[in-house]
């Protein structure tokens, strides 16, 4: 498919070519691979899995949940092949359903993308905070306020890069892929050869751990049915954001094939690389007491198993990988904001759908980054005895729930359409039915788990209850759902008609 054919297909979907179509198929794959970022999620949310299940939540949980996510990816690849537009998920929902489906999908997707941007950049700031502390011998104290300051600086840098370096973004996506591959390989090699001893395979594949406060240790129904699934947040959060392949499809050459291929491949290769990386963590986790003492923080593994310079090197490799990841998140988030605003769904839509002379949605970039900073303000505080704010995991949960619920709606609508659906060049064929059902059930289950409390101190009525321990994901997601439902009922249903055409006729081939 040539660039002209891409533009013609976009015109058939109702839009003129406004964004610069300069991305290769590899660059399209690269943005989702960078957002998934095994150098980000595997490091920043390792503690969630360690405290809720321990080694088995990682060694077995990662490949199991990855398989389900790959199925979700296959379902979405078929959709992006049929509808390669920057609106992506919400456009699919509006096309296959009604305006109300597009409305809810769009807002859930946008909120999820903003939360992903916030969580990734805050994770990057946390690791940069630690790296600076180690490099300065403690002169940089690495406090929570300092972490938040670095977070704001990183967010601002990502906004500036996205605004002023459109072509550079595509190049940096490609660099990011190699950084993640080579960087992860170096980390694995260090953890294999540098430690004086390693854990046993029995520990890695059958060890359990429960620091959640729920249930009695690692036995009983509470552990297997509640605590362990909370540990799966590691995988579900890390392997997300792959909808970026759709959001940049209007900038990708041969999008109907390359965006579909890039989407599922970014999940597949990240799943394999992430599992190898996590297994290296577990085999090097010989000081379990210190790891528990630090709340499951992955840095405790490096600090106890390696020399100080090697530990610092791993922190630096991860920090740079997370920086690339956050940069890609801002790109994806801004394209979704631009596309949703182009169809009049976002207040002030004329402002957010405007592109500058470089064909970049500057206002959408700035607006999304400001909101990302605001929703992370609670991360200035952490519960007593913890170094990682519960707010971080809450933002992570918001990201996971928002994005996966947004994925759920068009997958369900595709299932409902059956043979009426007109596939693109990449299709599931008759397998769509069983794969779509599996995807829908998995999304519903994980969304329920990730609005639950992470610790007894976050349960209202508990004697140890503190607001800093509350998982505010259900409050945030609940308020958003109520808000967009009321907005729809009272106003939007009268004027939001779904995607708006910006071309009157399709150009001849």
Task: Report the candidate in 111, 285, 119 with the shortest Cα–Cα distance to residue 209.
Answer: 285
Q: Which two tokens stand for residue 179?
A: 């950084």
Identify the DSSP state of 249: G
Q: Which two tokens stand for residue 397?
A: 């949960």
Contact call for residues 440 and 230 (beta carbons, < 8 A): no
pLDDT of residue 455: 87
**Sign of the C-alpha dihedral computed for residues 337, 340, 342 and 346 taken in this order:** negative
Coil, strand or helix: which one is 52? Answer: strand
pLDDT of residue 312: 97
Q: What is the DSSP string of 195-235?
A: SS----HHHHHH--EE-SSSSSTT-HHHIIIIIHHHHTHHH
* 235: Cα within 13 Å, side-chain hemisphere: 29
Task: State the angle between helix axes of 61-82 and 255-284 in degrees (0 to 180), rounded to the nearest 10.
Answer: 170
Neighbours of 4 (CB within 10 A): 12
First to last CA, the chain: 12
**Residue ranges of the chain with per-residue pLDDT less than 70:** 1-4, 166, 383-388, 390, 504-509
pLDDT of residue 504: 66
C-alpha–C-alpha distance, residues 32 and 325, integer Å? 9
- Please, which residues have CB within 8 angstroms of residue 369's CB and are 6 or more apart in sequence? 117, 155, 156, 158, 159, 330
CATH superfamily of 39-494: Amino acid/polyamine transporter I (1.20.1740.10)
Neighbours of 484 (CB within 10 A): 18
Residue 489: exposed, middle, or buried by beta-carbon count in 10 A (0-12, 13-18, 19+)? exposed
C-alpha–C-alpha distance, residues 31 and 107, integer Å? 22
C-alpha–C-alpha distance, residues 380 and 403, integer Å? 25
pLDDT of residue 388: 65
Contact call for residues 186 and 194 (beta carbons, < 8 A): no
pLDDT of residue 242: 92
C-alpha–C-alpha distance, residues 498 and 345, integer Å? 8
**Can you give the pTM of this predicted structure?**
0.90
pLDDT of residue 12: 86
Question: Which H, E and C letters describe 35-75, residue by residue?
Answer: HHCCCCHHHHCHHHHHHEECHHHHHCHHHHHHHHHHHHHHH
Q: Which two tokens stand for residue 402?
A: 């928002």
Mean pLDDT of the chain: 90
Distances 316 to 43, 128, 407 between C-alpha atoms, Å: 12, 7, 33
Task: State the angle between helix axes of 166-193 and 255-284 in degrees (0 to 180), rounded to the nearest 10.
Answer: 30
Q: Taking the C-alpha atoms of 95, 101, 105 and 106 in order, what is their torsion angle to the nearest 10 degrees?
A: 70
pLDDT of residue 469: 79
Q: What is the DSSP string of 85-99?
A: -TTHHHHHHHHHS-H
């Amino acid at each position: 498919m040539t660039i002209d054919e891409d533009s013609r297909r976009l015109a058939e979907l109702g839009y003129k070519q406004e964004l610069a179509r300069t991305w290769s198929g590899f660059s399209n794959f690269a943005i989702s691979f960078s957002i998934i970022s095994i150098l980000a999620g595997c490091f920043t949310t390792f503690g969630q899995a360690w405290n809720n299940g321990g080694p088995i939540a990682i060694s077995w949980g990662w490949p199991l949940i990855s398989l389900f996510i790959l199925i979700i990816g296959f379902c979405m690849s078929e959709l992006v092949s049929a509808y390669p537009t920057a609106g992506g998920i919400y456009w699919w929902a509006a096309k296959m359903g009604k305006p109300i489906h597009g409305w809810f999908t769009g807002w859930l997707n946008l909120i999820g993308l903003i939360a992903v941007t916030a969580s990734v950049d805050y994770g990057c700031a946390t690791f940069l905070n630690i790296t600076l502390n180690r490099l300065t011998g403690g002169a940089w104290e690495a406090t929570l306020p300092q972490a938040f300051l670095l977070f704001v600086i990183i967010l601002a840098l990502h906004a500036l890069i996205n605004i002023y370096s459109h072509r550079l973004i595509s190049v940096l996506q490609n660099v990011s892929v190699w950084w993640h591959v080579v960087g992860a390989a170096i980390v694995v090699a260090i953890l294999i050869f540098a430690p004086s001893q390693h854990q046993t395979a029995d520990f890695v594949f059958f060890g359990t751990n429960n620091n959640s406060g729920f249930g009695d240790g690692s036995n009983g129904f509470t552990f297997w049915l509640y605590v362990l699934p909370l540990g799966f947040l590691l995988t579900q959060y890390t392997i997300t954001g792959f909808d970026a392949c759709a959001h940049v499809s209007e900038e990708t050459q041969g999008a109907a094939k390359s965006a579909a291929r890039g989407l599922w491949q970014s999940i597949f290769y990240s799943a394999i690389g992430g599992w190898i990386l996590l297994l290296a963590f577990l085999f090097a986790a010989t000081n379990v007491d210190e790891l528990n003492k630090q709340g499951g923080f992955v840095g405790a593994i490096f600090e106890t198993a390696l020399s100080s310079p090697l530990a610092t090197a791993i922190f630096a490799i991860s920090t740079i990988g997370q920086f690339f990841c956050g940069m890609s998140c801002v790109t994806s988030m801004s394209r979704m904001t631009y596309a949703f605003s182009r169809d009049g769904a976002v207040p002030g839509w004329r402002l957010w759908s405007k592109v500058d002379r470089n064909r970049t949605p500057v206002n959408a970039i700035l607006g999304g980054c400001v909101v990302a900073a605001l929703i992370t303000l609670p991360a200035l505080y952490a519960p007593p005895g913890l170094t990682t704010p519960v707010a971080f995991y809450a933002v992570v949960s918001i990201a996971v729930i928002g994005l996966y619920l947004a994925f759920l709606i068009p997958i369900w609508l595709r299932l409902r359409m059956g043979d009426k659906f007109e596939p693109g060049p990449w299709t599931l064929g008759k397998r769509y039915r069983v794969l779509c059902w599996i995807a829908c059930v998995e999304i519903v289950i994980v969304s329920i788990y990730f609005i639950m409390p992470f610790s007894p101190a976050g349960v209202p009525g508990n004697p140890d209850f503190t607001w800093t321990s509350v998982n505010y994901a259900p409050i945030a997601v609940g308020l958003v759902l109520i808000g967009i439902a009321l907005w729809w009922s009272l106003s939007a249903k009268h004027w939001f008609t779904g995607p708006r055409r910006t071309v009157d006729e399709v150009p001849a081939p």
